[in-house]
Amino acid sequence: MAIAHGDGVQDDEAGAYNVDDTTDEGFDESTDGAGDSRNSVGRSFWSKLHRVFLRHIDGIPLITKLVACILVLLAIGTFGISFAIRQLVGNYLLDKADIQLRDQAPLIYNSARWLDERQDDEGGSGIPNDYFMQYRDVHNQIVYTPLVPVLKGGVVSEPKLPANGTMKGVELGRPFTTPSRLVNVPAGADAATLERAQAPWRVLALARQDRDDGGNLVVSQVVYIGISLSDQIDVVRTLTQDAVYVSIAIILIGATLGTVLVRRTLEPLKRIEKTAAKIAAGDLSQRVPSAPQNTEVGSLAASLNVMLARIESSFREQQDTTNKMKRFVSDASHELRTPLAAIQGYAELYTMQRGLPGALERADDSIGHIKASSSRMSVLVEDLLSLARLDEGRGVDITQLVRLDRVFEDSADDLHALDPERDITKCALRTVPRSGSSPARLAFERGEFPEIEIRGDGSRLRQVFTNIVGNIHRYTTPDSPVEVALGEIVTTMGPESIQRLRPTVKSLQRILESSGPLEGTPGRHYAIAAIADHGPGVPLDQQPQIFERFYTADPSRARLKGGTGLGMSIVQSVVRAHHGFVCASTTPGGGLTLTIILPMGDRDGSTEQGVGQNRKANKASKAPWRQKGSKSMKTAKDSTASKERSTGAGEVGKGDDATRTR
């Protein structure tokens, strides 16, 4: 009937569904708009609620959120473990009660009559008993109850069993739990006893078999044996309370330790925040305090420090560039104003004296001064134009193969032509590695230049050495000696790194420390040239400044020497355009040494960009000044040609940039 009734219900539902199908089309147009409106309103509401919730979450400090997460995880973990322990222990005690009922059932059954008689003889007081026993016949009619536990104060509690004459789903041999029933509650019973009496029971129903007249075993009675679960419940309750107390203690301890640990862990972030505030206030020298690199905060601090160092360096470079540009504009205006003022003055003088006697001779003198001033201005403008092209990366072709040793020898010849009395010593240059506390250094060894070939712009490289030679001629006495040296080094630093170094002795020392023997040392090969003079020199703190534009060590004598203050700036620009390095240092005994380092390129065998050191003398290119004490006379034409090659060489104090690094 139930199935038939269910089918009927299904048929009715199906019929109703069919009716809905037949009438659905009539309601589509009238209900679509309202449904879409309700859906839109619902989505808008939940979207706003979601945004408001996220705003509140984002407004909570990170420390608070982390500590809250720790507390939630600890609470879930501890209470989950407590609940699991409670369930496991409860099930275990229930299984123990079942085993106890099965094991003790035969003993209780055999001793039931003796226990019952003992209770009757002693006036119903009986002996201590925790078991309940009841006999029923095969029709589940109660026969008698031999065992009933009596609690403190005479309180009697029995399990609720099926009514007389029924079993209500009780299975023989399978324990079941049933609530208690208070049979006798005397006045004055304490609460603990009543609570114990109200505990549920665990009951086991067994079949009692006897032999009939034919000797066959037949079921004669059903025996109910039960035991109160008050002890088990008390154990589980006590265990639960202890677990809750321990959980609360763990949560409190975890909250305290978590707060301390989170604050300690995030303290570097606070320092980063304070450092960022100081940097925002304009102090770019601030750095984030370091932390262990294996931590996230330590890695972040290291990355931020690298970034801050680059930002500070870029900012300082920008400031330096701005200051140099301002100074350059001021110096250029001053340098251009002088010849223009001279031209204007002599032109006015010529106009004023044009009608006086002897005007022709005075006119020639004025025209001569005007021509000299215009020539000086032309040289200055040409140097400025050359520097502008170099700054833009134009005007240099570094794809040519250049014999650097020959360019160097030509420059030495030019210096000898300018100062025939000067003692010029040619040397081979080599590096001496670090030895104990002695740093790496350069050593000058008298001898021929090694044959060195590089890729570069030959005319620009000649201009570099010609400018240096011109400065030595202008700012040192004609009889002061000069050493010119050329060599080759191998270093692990790349051209880009060398190009970015400041023109200081420390930078040169860094390059030398990273160099090694020519044979067997991995790295890049570089040509290194040094020109050392023994003139007045330049103070140590001013040596890096000689490469600045319009720098003059002695401004009062600069114009008398004919320099423009741009020669060494051109030298540095050309060297950097070749991805090289140049610096000035003090020559031992007095004077300056200019050291130039140029990359020789990759050695792939196709082009010999660095031929290495060849000690064999090149007699064909040997000049008379190479013999000590010999003096060869150069023609005026040679001297004039040398002077023409020294475009921009009139570097006022920069010429004393020849530094020695022995």
Alpha-carbon gap, residue 402 to 450, rounded angstroms: 14
CA–CA distances in Å: residue 382 to residues 79, 485, 564, 647: 87, 30, 11, 9
Alpha-carbon gap, residue 522 to 601, rounded angstroms: 14
pLDDT average, residue stretch 453-479: 89
Tell me: the pLDDT tens digits for 235-280? 999 999 999 999 999 999 998 998 898 888 888 888 888 888 888 8
- Domains of the chain, with CATH numbers? 57-117+127-286 (no CATH), 291-395 (1.10.287.130), 396-599 (3.30.565.10)
User: With helix as H, strand as E and coil as C, how does 223-250 read?
Assistant: EEEEEECHHHHHHHHHHHHHHHHHHHHH
Show the DSSP H helices in 122-229 as ranges. Answer: 191-197
Alpha-carbon gap, residue 260 to 63, rounded angstroms: 10
For residue 168, report the phi and psi dihedrals to the nearest 5 degrees: 50, 55
Both structure tokens of 150: 């009596």
pLDDT average, residue stretch 121-127: 46
3-state secondary structure of 36: helix
Alpha-carbon gap, residue 508 to 115, rounded angstroms: 111
Going 551 to 553 to 558 to 561, the CA torsion angle's sign is negative
Query: Which pLDDT does position 128 carry in this prediction?
Result: 54
Tell me: the pLDDT tens digits for 351-383? 777 666 666 666 777 777 777 777 777 777 777
Q: Does residue 486 register a pLDDT over 90?
A: yes
Q: Which residues of 508-541 are buried (b: 16+ CB within 10 A; e: fewer)?
A: bbbbbbbbbebeeeeebbbbbbbbbbbbbbbeee
Q: At 531, is the pLDDT very low, low, confident or very high (cuts 50, 70, 90)?
A: very high
Whether the model clears a pTM of 0.85, i.e. scores above it, the answer is: no
Q: At 606, is the pLDDT very low, low, confident or very high (cuts 50, 70, 90)?
A: very low
Tell me: the pLDDT tens digits for 299-348? 888 888 888 888 888 888 888 778 877 776 766 666 666 677 777 777 77
Tell me: the pLDDT tens digits for 620-647? 333 333 333 333 333 333 433 333 333 3
Alpha-carbon gap, residue 384 to 373, rounded angstroms: 17
DSSP, res 479: T
